[in-house]
Amino acid sequence: MIRRTLAAAVLLLVPSGLMAAEPDVATVRDWLDEQLYLSAPDGRAPFAFEVAGEPEVVAVASGVEARLPGATLWSDEVLLVLGDVILEVTAGEGDLLQVDVHLAENIPVTDPTGGLIGELALLEPRFSAALDPVNGIFVDGVAAAGGAGFNLSSGLAWLEAGAIDLRWNAEQVAERRWTLDELIAVAGLSGGTTAGHSVEMSALTVEGRYLGLDLESYGAFLDTGFDPLALDATRSMDAQSIRVPADFVDHVSLDSLYERIRAAEVSVTLPESADFNIAALDLTGTTNRLDDGGTFDLDYRYDVQGLALDVDGPVGALTPRDVDVRLQLSRLPVVGLLRAFERYVVAVDEEGAAEAVASAALLAEIQRLLREADTELRLVDSRLDGPLLTASFDGVARPDATASRGATGLLTVELAGFAKTQEELGRNVANLDALKVAAGLAVLEIVGEPVDDRPDARRYRLAATADGAITLNDAPIDELLALLAPESAR
């Protein structure tokens, strides 16, 4: 879930701390020259910003105004043709400077050759930020539009949004260390294709918090030559795309990262499969120990409320309505794993190594890294709640050098609602799929352990032991498989 969109804008397009609190033409021109250097397509930024000519900087009654002629913004092989961009730099509160940016409402989107991809329409766009000229960072700001739309020039797809509000705040918490907060709120989003695909949601919010970010280390990362837009054409693109996040973690000092995505009243139409609706979606992720040699602790939670799948039969009847899953990874060697995947891709794509040999080497390296880091995976207090069946999950898995499979683990599952489910499935005696599901549930009810005070619930403990055995409630898993699919056991 790590994103660097807004954080990059806050950190990159800032001066080096040389601008005075009272702006004048000379200092604004120097600042713009530095920004154009930092954001040029030479490897120093996750996007590239260029202008067609020299900026025009003039003094005005309120401060300084600059015109950036023929501006373009590059990102992921897509160019946004911004046209002339106007900046106003004025004195702000205290020692801060106020920077306001004026953009066109209609922005063509092209490929690198100039071919038109589509057009981005922004209703009354505005960008306003408070700049700390001493530390060289936008400490507070907002980018907003009354609405937005994007249409492919082919007419095959479109996307529309209501009011968009993007806000951020940066606060210095220690020497060289900053905390950045960001919030993106969209009041309604819809899109579709002429093939019949569509998505709608009444609201979307994205939050992020970067704790203890060392700005000097971020600058050092940029100086390594990070450049997603000018990658070496003779090298594997996959290998280079893996290298970039690994370099980021290697160089950037950051204590922790928190992110959250929420959506309301989501509706998705998929002509080739089942349509579905979600009343509320809430995804959160926390990453800790980012400054500890590339070994992270991750804590993710996925909360889905009011899921409705447009499908008949047993699949529709057994689809959970509410999903709450929490996944924790402790001591995950992220940098080591990324470097291992990079070596694998280089071996296969660039050096011509046999894929089977390279895959075996990659698997061995992953096992070694996880074992040495003592990585642990946990499934915590997770639930699937449906109109018929409910399920709860808890589990743990960890590498084990003494285990024949290289790892051990235990997953505990509780299922409840057998009687109600069998009753519902029994109403579809003509449906072969329903009969098969009913038979499978009957076996599961038999092999499960009774749960105290819950006569319609069963518990299952699936274990991978050090001797390589896989057991269900202390019995070999083969016994259950033979009951569920006797023809495959013969």
Average pLDDT, integer, range 148-170: 95
Q: Residue 235 in contact with residue 350, Cβ under 8 Å? A: yes
Q: What is the pLDDT of residue 107?
A: 95
Q: Residue 434 in contact with residue 315, Cβ under 8 Å? A: no
Is it the case that residue 214 has pLDDT exceeding 80?
A: yes
pLDDT digits (tens, 9 = 90+) for 318-373: 889 999 999 999 999 988 998 899 889 888 877 888 889 999 999 999 999 999 99
Lowest mean pLDDT among 38-52, 144-158, 218-232, 261-275: 218-232
Q: What is the mean pLDDT of the chain?
A: 85
Provide Rg for the chain, Cα atoms.
Answer: 28
31-37 long-range contacts, Cβ below 8 Å, gap at least 24?
Answer: 32/57, 32/66, 32/68, 32/87
Round to whole Å and give the CA distance between 211 and 300.
17
Tokens of 170: 């940066």
pLDDT digits (tens, 9 = 90+) for 38-58: 676 654 455 678 899 899 999
- Sign of the C-alpha dihedral computed for residues 271, 276, 280 and 281 taken in this order: negative
Q: What is the pLDDT of residue 146?
A: 96
Average pLDDT, integer, range 107-112: 91
pLDDT category, 104, cuts 50, 70, 90? very high
pLDDT category, 292, cuts 50, 70, 90? low
Q: What is the pLDDT of residue 360?
A: 92
Position with higher pLDDT, 290 vs 198 = 198
Round to whole Å and give the CA distance between 101 and 86.
6
Q: Which amino acid would we find at residue 476?
A: P
pLDDT digits (tens, 9 = 90+) for 443-481: 889 989 999 888 899 999 999 999 988 999 998 888 777
Average pLDDT, integer, range 260-282: 94
Beta bridge partners of 266: 278
Position with higher pLDDT, 280 vs 432 = 280
Planar angle of CA 167, 120, 272, nearest 5 degrees? 100
What H or E segment, with its residue span, contains residue 123? Answer: strand 116-123
pLDDT digits (tens, 9 = 90+) for 297-317: 999 999 999 999 888 777 777
Count of CA atoms in the C-beta half-sphere (13 A) of 464: 15
Residues with Cβ within 8 Å of residue 360, at least 6 apart in sequence = none
pLDDT category, 401, cuts 50, 70, 90? confident
Q: Which amino acid would we find at residue 347?
A: A
Round to whole Å and give the CA distance between 431 and 419.
19
Round to whole Å and give the CA distance between 431 and 427.
9
Is it the case that residue 28 has pLDDT exceeding 70?
A: yes
Q: What is the pLDDT of residue 490?
A: 47
Q: What is the pLDDT of residue 229?
A: 42
Phi, psi of 294 (to 5 degrees): 80, 15
pLDDT category, 134, cuts 50, 70, 90? confident
Is it the case that residue 7 has pLDDT exceeding 60?
A: no
Q: Residue 248 in contact with residue 290, Cβ under 8 Å? A: no
Tokens of 271: 């002509």
Is it the case that residue 148 has pLDDT exceeding 70?
A: yes
Q: What is the pLDDT of residue 40?
A: 67
Is it the case that residue 117 has pLDDT exceeding 60?
A: yes
> Residue 428 in 3-state DSSP?
coil
pLDDT category, 169, cuts 50, 70, 90? very high
Count of CA atoms in the C-beta half-sphere (13 A) of 430: 0
Tokens of 13: 């397009």
Q: What is the DSSP string of 29-55?
A: HHHHHHHHHHTSTTTSSSSEEE-SS--
Q: What is the pLDDT of residue 408?
A: 94
Average pLDDT, integer, range 431-436: 79
